[in-house]
Amino acid sequence: MTLEGKPAPDFTLLRDGGETVTLSGLRPAKVVLYFYPKDDTSGCTLEAQGFTEAKRAFEAEEAVVLGISRDTVAKHDKFIDKYGLDVILAADTEGEVCEAYGVWVEKSMYGRKYMGIGRSTFLIGADGTVLREWRGVKVPGHVDEVLDAVKAA
């Protein structure tokens, strides 16, 4: 399933701090929408820290970074406080947004199969169209690759 060239599925979710965030409400900014498995795990922490460190560079390109996992707002708040993160983290506790973006996938660890979020990022243009998607993301170098794509958009 690819979403490139298609309208990004809109959503409204609770975000860190208990407020809501609506994807279409972020226009006309470009949106870097990244899905990650779980707060306070090694890869997810590195990814969130990378996006936090590059926040000013994304803002200079008129882009907003928004992370989504199925963790609760309370867990997001603890995650942000623990690591000094400065990105929006939204709580898709029901998994509806994960399903809409096709990131709720079968995974395998130590021979055990289970469902979880496949680390993925979507670059959404100012008009709400998905310009680029990355699935099966490996964290090292990813933030820089996304920033380069934002600059080119």
Tokens representing 25 are 């409400």
Is-contact 111 28, C-beta < 8 A? no
* Catalytic residue status for 98: no
Q: Is the pLDDT of residue 1 over 80?
A: no
pLDDT of residue 152: 93
Place of tokens 């975000």: 15
For 49-77, what is each residue's pLDDT tens digit? 999 999 999 999 999 999 999 999 999 99
Eight-class DSSP state of 10 = P
Please identify which of the residues 13, 21, 31, 44 carries the catalytic annotation: 44
Is-contact 129 8, C-beta < 8 A? yes
pLDDT of residue 75: 96
Instruction: Tell how far CA 14 is from the center of its chain.
Output: 14
Q: Is the pLDDT of residue 3 over 90?
A: yes
For 7-21, what is each residue's pLDDT tens digit? 999 999 999 999 999
CA dihedral 138, 132, 86, 84 (to 10 degrees): 0
Domains and CATH numbers, the chain: 12-152 (3.40.30.10)
